A = this chain, B = another copy of it.
Amino acid sequence: MTTSTQRVIEGVAGPGSIGRVAIGDILRRTAQRHPDRAAIVEGDRCTTYAMLDDAANRYANFLLAQGLTTGDKVGCICANSTDFMPVIFGIHKAGLVWVPANAMLAAEDIDYILHHAGVGHVVVDDVLAAQPAMAAMLAALGVPMTVISVSGSGIAAGALPGTGFADAIASQPATEPVVEIDERELALIMYTSGTTSRPKGVMHCHLSVVMAAMSNAIEWRIGREDGVTAVLPMFHCAQHSVMLTGVLAGAKMLLMRGFDPAALIEGMAAEKINIMVGLPLMYRAVLDHPSRKQRDINLRMCVYAMAPMPEPLMTRLVNELCPDFRLSSGQTEMYPSTVMSRPDRALARFGNYWGESNVVNDTAIMDDDGNILPRGTIGEIVHRGPNVMLGYYKQPEATTAARLHGWHHTGDLGLIDHHGELLFLDRKKDMIKSGGENVPSIKIEEVLLGHPDVQNAVVVGLPHARWGEAVTAFLVPKPDTDPTEDSILEHCRKHLGGFEMPKLVIFLEEMPMTVTGKIRKTELRTKFADHFETATT
């Protein structure tokens, strides 16, 4: 009998490679289970799991042959393409760190990311590498490169600096390299688009990413009989985790480089795709496209992300396209998805009802002192789970702040209602304190967007002697309209209480935006910070 703490266990040999959790293992196992099934369909090109695993192994061997070693960073500037897949898995199989840049960013922003991460190799697709600004940036960077040939790019292999992907893998062995991989070591750094500052590098380990894929697979009941879209960009956490989920399950992926509703409808029908993952605007485009009713599409599940679905659209989608629609939410820091709306609630709950936690996550509402709040109370949405980031690269203070009190802080405000469903209210920094009350900027924006002449609306709180923060509306009118402040305020009075009412309406020609389409609220806040300085009413 012993009641003392024994931390040293007799007989333990340590996990080693025999028991590791590693991203590359997902692909190898599926390729072993069904080598000849389709992994990726892109236009006329079909890649089986055996072919994908083979190419990933060869590319891993290529990278190691370049002298890269465990922990080295490999930057990727790639939109979706078939060859991007073995690149991603090859980097992981080699024990290297995947650093995907958002391919829509300007060359100077990608340059910042590549320098910040300290990449030792860059993979770029020919379409992007041929852009003059990108080419100049890459030349100045001076890091060895692999160039992917995108189907139909029209760019000849060898026309650009760097090693062509086909050449890189041609002479490499197809056996997986033997590399020690620690599941808690760095596997990827994904940079978030900052609306207020430079992008932050979110670090994840192998275990985190694998857990996200397994969690999705459990929630989705996905298997080899399924086919899933890859229309969103794989450099983003959403489609990356969806892709891994598909590979884990052995499903077929319909890969597209850009969104084209006609081509998507055609592909989904031809390849018998039954799971679609997209943005609300994509679903609207598919729903309203004339070819939809002419082609035989059988979707069993649709996942949407990034934005809520308007009630009329959701109702039509459920009735006309697919009975099972789910909003999947998360953030790069908590490898997605973290919460998901329940499909049986799709026609009962609209807007920002985010639903319930996935199987690997705890979700709670926390006040500023670290107390977990009871149901129905507004506070910050916090999470725990193995899919949490390791931290922000080279930003230990930001990392510490993000995991204060032992939970990951999302920066989102919300509440858990009496059904146990999470309701998102606003970004914490965008919540306005008006007359002592919390006013979600999103709520006011929704009301303003209901005005017939309003194209775009942003609401911020500006410092105000009486209100604390004064609700301030910035509006872009619809073309050929000329709404007055009075007409806007009259519309608002029908829907809002006094403390929620805009105290000022400012008309703009266009909103200040980031390249990824987020509105720079901070810019508006800073520019108009002094507006109410002398006001007292």
A contact residues vs B (CB 8 Å cutoff): 1-7, 9-13, 15-21, 25-26, 28-30, 32-35, 67-73, 118-120, 141-143, 183-186, 203, 207-208, 211, 214-215, 217-218, 221, 223, 248-249, 356-357, 359-363, 384-388, 390-396, 398-400, 403, 406-408, 420
The distance in angstroms between the C-alpha atoms of A382 and B143, with both chains bound, is: 42
Nearest-CB distance from A423 to chain B (Å)? 16
Contact, CB under 8 Å: A248 / B20? no
Copies in the complex: 2
Contact, CB under 8 Å: A357 / B390? no
Contact, CB under 8 Å: B249 / A13? no
Contact, CB under 8 Å: A120 / B9? no
The distance in angstroms between the C-alpha atoms of A9 and B202, with both chains bound, is: 12
The distance in angstroms between the C-alpha atoms of A25 and B358, with both chains bound, is: 12
Q: Mind listing 11 A-B residue pairs with CB under 8 Å?
A: A3-B67, A3-B69, A5-B71, A6-B72, A7-B185, A9-B71, A18-B407, A34-B420, A183-B386, A214-B215, A214-B218
Nearest-CB distance from A436 to chain B (Å)? 32
Residues from chain B with a CB closer than 8 A to the CB of A17 are: 384, 406
Nearest-CB distance from A295 to chain B (Å)? 28
Contact, CB under 8 Å: B391 / A12? yes
Contact, CB under 8 Å: A1 / B33? no
Residues from chain B with a CB closer than 8 A to the CB of A5 are: 69-72
Contact, CB under 8 Å: B406 / A18? yes
Nearest-CB distance from A206 to chain B (Å)? 11
Do A395 and B2 contact each other (CB < 8 Å), given the known contacts A21-B211, A29-B361, A362-B29?
no
Residues from chain B with a CB closer than 8 A to the CB of A248 are: 218, 359
Contact, CB under 8 Å: B119 / A184? no
Contact, CB under 8 Å: A11 / B390? yes
Contact, CB under 8 Å: A16 / B406? yes
Contact, CB under 8 Å: B73 / A2? yes
Contact, CB under 8 Å: B393 / A9? yes
Residues from chain B with a CB closer than 8 A to the CB of A183 are: 386
Contact, CB under 8 Å: A19 / B208? yes
Nearest residue (CB) in B for A28 is B362
Residues from chain B with a CB closer than 8 A to the CB of A215 are: 214
Given contact pairs A20-B386, A29-B357, A32-B420, enumerate 9 new A-B contacts (beta carbons under 8 Å). Answer: A1-B141, A1-B143, A6-B71, A9-B391, A12-B399, A15-B184, A29-B360, A32-B363, A35-B420
Nearest-CB distance from A217 to chain B (Å)? 5
Contact, CB under 8 Å: A118 / B2? yes
Contact, CB under 8 Å: B388 / A18? yes
The distance in angstroms between the C-alpha atoms of A475 and B279, with both chains bound, is: 69
The distance in angstroms between the C-alpha atoms of A284 and B363, with both chains bound, is: 45
The distance in angstroms between the C-alpha atoms of A389 and B156, with both chains bound, is: 52
Contact, CB under 8 Å: B218 / A10? no
Residues from chain B with a CB closer than 8 A to the CB of A20 are: 386
Do A12 and B203 contact each other (CB < 8 Å), given the known contacts A5-B70, A67-B3, A357-B33?
yes
Residue from A6, A69, A119 with most neighbouring chain B CB atoms (10 Å): A6
Nearest-CB distance from A312 to chain B (Å)? 29
